[in-house]
Structure 1
Amino acid sequence: MLQFIQPFMHKAIQGISPCVLCGVDHQRHHSVCTDCWQKLPWFKNVVQRQEMSIQVACHYDYPMDRIIQKFKYEQQLHFQTLLAGTLTQLRIPKIQAIVPMPISNQRLAERGYNQSLVLAKILAKHLNIPIWQPVSRLAQHSQKGMSRIERLDQIGQQFVIAAQPKIRYRKVLMLDDVVTTGSSLHALKTKLDELGCQQIYAACIASAEP
């Protein structure tokens, strides 16, 4: 009985809770009001990076850039519903699992959470599929002043297969918050190729110019 009551309770709470962006109107779409939802810098298209097609929900423009920064660096986790909600607007192909972009233990200690994993959990529940994390990431260093080849090589060395997984998936979706050059997604895809994945897709909340 409880499983039927919960969706109604959630909808009722949404109807009286203020929008997390304007704080004036009531929530209607993933914790924001209709007006704020429509004013997001929507893109809902594909960008090409590192010979990969990456689905992107929004442009990395105001207010999405500030929302992502606050969520990622300022522990403002109340934005997770909105950010994950933008991903549900994409035409995600039929997949077997979601692979969130891994972060190093150093980054994890600094932030307290992996922002891509937080969003992946919401999207995985929406799609009713598991999260798969067979790849880990070593220490991340600044790439300032590096050439494109040096940057790709350095990032490629950061990703390692954590352990030979007992369960392997052939069709997976890599998930990240923002794509710029696509170097990290390319490095992750390389490791998933090594694990035998046959169809590897990618999706991000926003896209910024390289």
Structure 2
Amino acid sequence: MKKSVIGGIAAAVLTVLLATPAQAAEASVIHVPDDFAPTLSDTRAAGHYEVVGTGLHIWTEADPLIAGGVKKVAEYVATSKPLTTVGEPSLSYTATTGTTPPGFQLVVDFDNDGSADGILIGEPGVYGNTWWLNNGAKQFVKDGAPNVGGGYGSDYWGTLDEWRAYFPNAVVTAFGFSSAPASWATG
């Protein structure tokens, strides 16, 4: 197992499953935080993470005077996997009482031209197996979305199977997690 020292704590290993059930045995092992892509990080001023034993503790500050926009932890790992081969992501975590589980994020090159076109966000604790598109996504992705209309995080949404069918050449360029005001841990 790869190890590094971060503030005197050994780096954790986080297993993220981004595979079909048949490929689950070949799950990727992520070395946290060494494998996080710094250029994609969206961990803000009141969002934090720390390695604890073999787990990753993620939290936002509870102070009600701190604006919600800075209460976010979002980290990504670079990859290059066709969306058609990506199964339903999963994560082993323990939530603090009263918090919403973290969401998954897939940075996607929808037209397979080498540049990311949008982010699919999956929040199973809120929307079940529906994945919604970020507001900053390119217009052609919004125009081609499987479903249009509010109610699922944005006006553009669908299951991963629907997104795969509508964008069969899409490639996931990074996968990650996002947690706004909450506290949870992996491991």
TM-score normalised per structure 1: 0.29
The structure with the largest strand share of the pair is 2
The structure with the largest helix share of the pair is 1
- Could you say which structure has the larger radius of gyration? 1
Query: Greater RCO between the two (CA within 8 Å, min separation 6)?
Result: 2
